[in-house]
Amino acid sequence: MNRFILVLHCPPWSHQSVATACQFAQAAIDRGNSITAVFLYQDAVLNGSNNLDIPSDELNGQSQLVNLNSQHNIPLLMCVTAAEKRGVNADALHPSFTLSGLAEFAELTTESDKMVQFK
């Protein structure tokens, strides 16, 4: 059984990467592996904004991440520095996401067997 940490770099609406990361996580869990956390970096922090208004006919990565969190209790950690640069602060944060630093991410990588990035 492997422990994975996933790193996302893409915003919630413009790339298949968020959906692919969620599908990867579900497949890994189905095979008996675990996901230590999903770390959102660069534009991926926009997935954690509480102010998203994505039309129903567009890709919505945020809802897929929230579903992953609620079904499997996987922490959704957002780089605090990247979030602040993009206007996502604690007041504008979706309740399923947590602000975190790179130090916590580095520590989680030591507790994981593999890190997989989605750009």
- Whether the CA torsion 103, 29, 116, 24 is positive or negative: it is negative
Q: What pTM did the predictor assign?
A: 0.94
By the 8 A CB rule, do 35 and 1 touch? no
Q: What's the structural domain count of the chain?
A: 1
Residue 26 belongs to a domain with what CATH number?
3.40.1260.10
* pLDDT in the model for residue 58: 78
10 catalytic? Reply is no
* pLDDT in the model for residue 14: 67
Structural domain of residue 45, as residue ranges?
3-118
- The single residue of 76, 79, 82, 99 carrying the catalytic annotation is 79
For the stretch 2-55, pLDDT in tens is 999 999 999 887 678 999 999 999 999 999 999 999 999 999 999 999 988 887
Give the β-pairing of 114-118 and 34-40. Answer: unpaired
Separation of first and last alpha carbons in the chain: 25
